[in-house]
Amino acid sequence: MGRKWNNIKEKKASKDANTSRIYAKFGREIYVVAKQGEPDPESNRALKVVLERAKTYSVPKAIIDRALEKAKGGSEENYDELRYEGFGPNGSMVIVDALTNNVNRTAAEVRSAFKKNGGNMGVSGSVSFMFDATAVIGLEGKSEEEVLELLLEADVDVRDIISEGDAIIVYAEPEQFHEVQEACKNAGVSEFTVAELTMLAQNDMALPEEAQTQFEKLIDALEDLEDVQQVYHNVDLNQ
């Protein structure tokens, strides 16, 4: 089930380091989630999840505060949450989540990214049935056995616990995100290397070199779109 989460995060953070694109995406997501509920993470669990994720990407406090203040100020800026599904080279599967204030623009841009990079859009449900919504929590400084024990003591039953390099990765149901984090925090864990709610492919696939190069261009093109928040896929890029 391993996804080399640390490598993926480092690659994404490095790619976005100069443009601060990742920070802009978090700013938008924080604003939307805060506006949908209360702009207080203690009473808005969805907001708390976003803020925990933002911590692992070192999103500046100024960006977080600006998004929260915007939500508190009653901004009339509205965004639609959209999900697109499609196929890349060799039948690879891709899910794209977006937040947009212009549905037609976003749909056209996503469709164009697929078309220009060896893929094509699918209908709703054509890909997502091969993915599972999953909470992924990563931490360091403890062994698999220690993490399993602390979760058992907290009566938190998770899908899997594995080692990836220096990190321990916990895979759990999305609604267990807070339970896993709280159990770890109560056991002395102060920072998390990964804190994500993701769509995890049930089966990864490998691509030949040429197809993988084209696939990576597709993923880059989708992630570069301003309205796109997350891109999920079933290709093993660490082969």
The 10s digit of each residue's pLDDT in 118-169 is 999 999 999 999 999 999 999 999 999 999 999 999 999 999 999 988 889 9
Domain count, the chain: 3
Note the residue count of the chain: 239
Percent of the chain topping pLDDT 90 = 79
Do 93 and 176 have their domain in common? no
**Contact in structure between 140 and 166 (CB atoms under 8 Å):** yes
Question: What's the average model confidence in pLDDT over 83-89?
Answer: 98
Mean pLDDT over the full length of the chain: 90
Report, as an integer, the average pLDDT of 202-213. Answer: 94
pTM of the predicted model, to two decimals?
A: 0.90
Residue with more model confidence, 165 or 87: 87
Model pLDDT, residue 156: 94
* pLDDT higher than threshold 70 for residue 4: no
Residues 104, 218: one domain?
Answer: yes
Q: Are residues 125 and 161 in the same domain?
A: no
Distance separating alpha carbons of residues 149 and 167, to the nearest angstrom: 16
pLDDT of residue 17: 53
Could you tell me if 95 and 140 lie in one domain?
no
Domain hosting 219: range is 80-129+202-233
State whether residue 80 is helix, strand or coil. Answer: strand
Quick check: 101 and 35 in contact, CB under 8 A?
no
CATH number at residue 223: 3.30.70.980
What pLDDT was estimated at residue 1? 46
223 and 185 within one domain: no
127: Cβ contacts below 8 Å, ≥ 6 apart: 85, 86, 87, 93, 94, 95
Are residues 192 and 137 both part of a single domain? yes
User: What 3-state class would DSSP assign to 7?
Assistant: helix
Other CB atoms closer than 10 Å to residue 145's CB: what's the count? 10
Distance, in Å, from the CA atom of 98 to the CA atom of 231, rounded to the nearest integer, reads 9
pLDDT at 37: 87
- Please give the residue that has the higher pLDDT: either 7 or 144: 144
Kindly report the CATH number assigned to the domain that includes residue 24. 1.10.10.200
Residue 239 placed within a domain: no
Q: Structure tokens of 76? A: 């009339």
pLDDT in tens, 19-65: 578 899 999 999 999 999 888 998 999 999 999 999 988 899 999 99
Whether 238 is covered by a domain: the verdict is: no
**What pLDDT score was predicted for residue 31?**
96
